[in-house]
Structure 1
Amino acid sequence: MKNLALLLILILTQNISQAQQPFSHGRLKVSDNHRFLVHQDGTPFFWLGDTAWELFHRLNREEADQYLKHRAQQGFTVVQAVALAEIDGLNTPNALGDKPLINNDPSKPNDAYFRHVDYIIDKAAEYGIVIALLPTWGDKVFKDNWGKGPEIFNVNNAAAYGEWIGNRYKKRENIVWILGGDRTPRKDSDDVKIWRLMAEGLERGADGKDKALLSFHPQPNSVGMGGSSNWFHRDEWLDFNMLQDGHCRDEITYDKVSFVYNRRPVKPVVDAEPIYEDHPVCFNATDLGISNAYDVRKFAYLDLFAGAFGHTYGCHDIWQMYSKEREPINGPHFPWQEALDLPGAKQMTFVKKLMTSRPILDRVPDQSLIEENNYGPADRIQATRGKDYAFIYTAAGRQITVNAGKISGNQFNAYWFDPRKGEAKLIGKYDNKGRHQFKPPTAGYGKDWILVLDDPAKNYGFDNLK
């Protein structure tokens, strides 16, 4: 009996150990072609993110587990969250009653607070989720008309805090570091220098650049179109670029992604904050209404087909972890637990399944695939392809004229993929030359479709979408 008990303990210990280390392919890095993220052994990684800015601050451990488990089941692979949170994160304690810093001094982190952060990061790892960790929200660098601050970071302490937090989490393989926190560096200030110093400290604390994958989360409509690339593109610490499109409909997201995609040196790009689901459009619900599932999925496909390596979804109720016991910010409608299953969130599952149904690492944007490549955001048609397949998104069900011969094979299979249901239907087989016209099953507002073309010899099909 004693030997049997020891055997059971050993099996349970092994199972727990395996559950806590799902990153068998290693931590993330930039791919060899500098367009995507992969694991250390080269396994492709698809970034399907969620913005849960207040995760560490507002949720207790049971709630955090509920949130992470649910998102993992929906196929999300990344959660963006903030250590020093946005909603009065310095002076309002977390769900366990702890503040992050002693006397708001970055050189005196409160270990009890960060043990809660530790727990959530480790729980995310159990579910195979990467935490895109912001060391601080941007109002801790400078306060503006909507940030609560206070300003605590400067050129004298940014590097030390970066080194401390980098060192604390250097052994966690499920972390990507994000600086910035929704702020545009001011002219004639030390802002850019402060972020650079924090990045240097992070790399030092994490035992080298190869263990600290870094980016920068900007505000929408920052100077120019380049998001983080406006200030840091040539900095060695910036491994990939982030954009924020903000919370208006029909932004020219594809042009912004394309602009950064074509910058040199080549670096991956992702839209880290497009319009949130259930958000007042342009912060003006009275005149413009509330965003819906169509709004969020349209951004996803336009971003990805324009060259983004992944996509971050967001929900207005979830970023703030809204509950009826908390003061609402900008009119959320659902407690965060209910908002987990809003239609747009469920449809992100289909985004991931489609994008991973074909080879990821050779995919490029290619508007030469189509004739109708100059429509505006409401009717946009956007195309991307790999060596032996192509995806073409029509935002409003407009007819698509395909210029064939862009992928391998003497013929190609054509399918309609429904982004609302995640279902594909074979249209037929066509000669891979000349021009071919395809009319979607429906057209109009909210009637978006994806035309899928692929080389029949590859036998891709859609069995993995079921």
Structure 2
Amino acid sequence: FSDIELDVVFTDPDGVEMRVPTFWSGDQTWRVRFSAPKTGLYHYRTICSDTSNSDLHDQEGKVEIAPYNGDNRLLKHGNLRVTSDKRHLEHHDGTPFFWLADTWWMGLVKRLRYPDEFQMLTADRVQKGFTVIQIVAGLYPDMDQFDERGANEAGFPWEKDYSKINPSYFDMADIRIQWLIKSGLVPCIVSCWGYYIDFVGIDVLKRHWRNLLARYGAYPVVWCMAGEAIMPYYLAPGDKRAELITKARSGWTEITKYLREIDPYHHPITIHPTDCGHNQVDDRSVIDIDMLQTGHGGWDSMPNTVRQVIDSLAIEPKMPVLVGEVSYETIGGGCLQDVQRFAFWSCILSGACGHTYGANGIWQVNRREKPFGPSPHGMSWGNIPWDEAYRLPGSAQIGIGKALLMRYPWWQFEPHPEWLANHATKENVRAPYCAGVPRTVRIIYMPNFMTVQVKGIESDTKYRAFYYCPQSGNETEIGTVNPDADGNWQSPRPPIFQDWLLVLEKTG
């Protein structure tokens, strides 16, 4: 594993080459997984770093690639990429992709049993409309190295001296990753928690990433370089933390550049941050998606959440922005479904390309009979079991929100604060939000029981209005919108004292 590197160069019918890394499968076995961008006859040859190894080097062959005829959305439409406007994601065939992720940081451990429990949780998330699972590939947060809580059925991902990987660990991970894809969920694969860069160094993490690329690069995935990338280990001395942060930022920049160089599929790359993804690296251009983490304080974290989304969208170079972690449902005894709805709608209508939800109890896989327990700092994040947490109402309610967006060309939405007389700002986040497409649709989120004055209604467009309940998805018809001579219209009072969505959609 550490002595050689083996690649396979595939040449397509037009003579275009793709150099694909292989992975060590144990003993004397190396394997390659290849996803072809077009059909036809491919030629391949192997390139081994040890050119004297005649069993591995300069082996040649042919493979015929046939078209995919199934109905799996991910395989049918192709890998993900950033859209030309640098604000959203789409499949390679141009089909828009909405990021609605769930947080399963420790979803590959044996504590979430496969197949029954893993498949049950997967089915629930598919039914609710999730499209992405954020999952760590073995080197986990909130524990020290080789903590038994991080093992799967085959043990740990690396030998304890980090001299080589444990292929059997990744064989078990394969089964779970493949099930997510079969179910239509994109794995957002996080290589490790960021402090491993201090534990094991850059070279080991490059080998870790090469193994992940070889195993999962042929699949429709998103790469996440690290979790809380520049955060020092929980017990790191206070006087060393600034130095560790600087070294981590430089190191993750180098590793990200390395991954970009060796990934023949050019999967989108993001990085899970301590605050903003663009602050975790020295060169912002090495990432494709700006992921944010904005706090676990419930309502107290919402001003920072909105502010970070708006500020990150204004940064050059432009890239899609999304909140990748905020206020897991029930963490700290709060952050309930009202917070989840607000976080989703305030971010989406402010211009985010999607949203990541998290439920306390799922991310760390609390078992009813044995919760995860304390993190290295000595405190537990909560004991709600995963099989209770997956039924928390917030996950269903943001799925209801996504269902409304899917009725419209959501990828064309832009924030339109000028469409409201009293729109939310970074200083006043509990006011209404508005986004949409001119002359097509306007969606207004009203976090408080209120009416709104809608402005600038086009004189050449007729709209139908209705209230949409963000808790149930039920609609309350309002009828035809009749603005005044200045294009203004006052909405009627909502039927129930709660948050609401007001929708104006073009008729005729």
> Which of the residues 491, 497, 505 maps onto 1:438?
491
Query: Unaligned regions of 5+ residues in structure 2, if any?
Result: 1-65, 232-240, 375-379
Alpha-carbon distance, 1:419 to partner? 0.3
Query: What is residue 157 of structure 1 aligned with on the other side?
Result: 204
Alpha-carbon distance, 1:90 to partner? 3.7
Query: What is residue 197 of structure 1 aligned with on the other side?
Result: 254
1:82 partner amino acid: V
For normalisation by structure 2, the TM-score amounts to 0.76
As a proportion of its length, which structure holds more helix? 1
Counting only pairs closer than 5 Å after superposition, residues 30-429 of structure 1 correspond to structure 2 as 30-57=82-109, 58-62=111-115, 63-83=117-137, 84-88=139-143, 90-91=145-146, 92=148, 93-105=150-162, 108-142=164-198, 151-154=199-202, 156-173=203-220, 175-184=221-230, 187-188=242-243, 189-207=246-264, 210-219=265-274, 222=275, 227-232=276-281, 235-250=284-299, 251-252=302-303, 253-280=305-332, 289-323=333-367, 324-329=369-374, 330=380, 332-374=382-424, 379-387=430-438, 388-405=440-457, 409-429=460-480
Measured in 2, the distance between the counterparts of 1:138 and 1:235 equals: 17
1:331–1:198 Cα change, 3 Å:
closer
Alpha-carbon distance, 1:271 to partner? 0.4
Measured in 2, the distance between the counterparts of 1:131 and 1:326 equals: 25
Secondary structure of the residue that 2:399 maps to in structure 1? helix
Measured in 2, the distance between the counterparts of 1:20 and 1:299 equals: 30
Alpha-carbon distance, 1:342 to partner? 1.1
2:307 partner amino acid: D
Alpha-carbon distance, 1:89 to partner? 6.8
1:307–1:234 Cα change, 3 Å:
farther
Output one character per residue of 1:3-44: Cα deviation in whole Å (capped at 9) or x when no partner: xxxxxxxxxxx9x99477852000100011111000000001
1:438–1:184 Cα change, 3 Å:
farther
Check whether the contact 1:46–1:77 (CA below 8 A) recurs between aligned residues. yes
Alpha-carbon distance, 1:68 to partner? 1.3
Check whether the contact 1:25–1:43 (CA below 8 A) recurs between aligned residues. yes
Check whether the contact 2:278–2:284 (CA below 8 A) recurs between aligned residues. no
Check whether the contact 2:103–2:362 (CA below 8 A) recurs between aligned residues. yes
Check whether the contact 1:260–1:269 (CA below 8 A) recurs between aligned residues. yes
Check whether the contact 1:391–1:452 (CA below 8 A) recurs between aligned residues. yes
Alpha-carbon distance, 1:391 to partner? 0.8
Check whether the contact 1:163–1:202 (CA below 8 A) recurs between aligned residues. yes
Check whether the contact 1:379–1:398 (CA below 8 A) recurs between aligned residues. no
1:377–1:124 Cα change, 3 Å:
farther
1:291 partner amino acid: C
Measured in 2, the distance between the counterparts of 1:409 and 1:44 equals: 29
Measured in 2, the distance between the counterparts of 1:377 and 1:124 equals: 39
1:427–1:232 Cα change, 3 Å:
farther
Check whether the contact 2:296–2:331 (CA below 8 A) recurs between aligned residues. yes
Query: Unaligned regions of 5+ residues in structure 1, if any?
Result: 1-13, 143-150, 281-288, 458-466
Measured in 2, the distance between the counterparts of 1:423 and 1:410 equals: 25
Secondary structure of the residue that 1:50 maps to in structure 2? strand
Check whether the contact 1:161–1:201 (CA below 8 A) recurs between aligned residues. no
RMSD: 2.5
Structure index of larger Rg? 2
1:367 partner amino acid: P
Output one character per residue of 1:25-68: Cα deviation in whole Å (capped at 9) or x when no partner: 00100011111000000001111110010101232321222221
1:381–1:184 Cα change, 3 Å:
farther
1:229–1:409 Cα change, 3 Å:
farther
1:98 partner amino acid: G
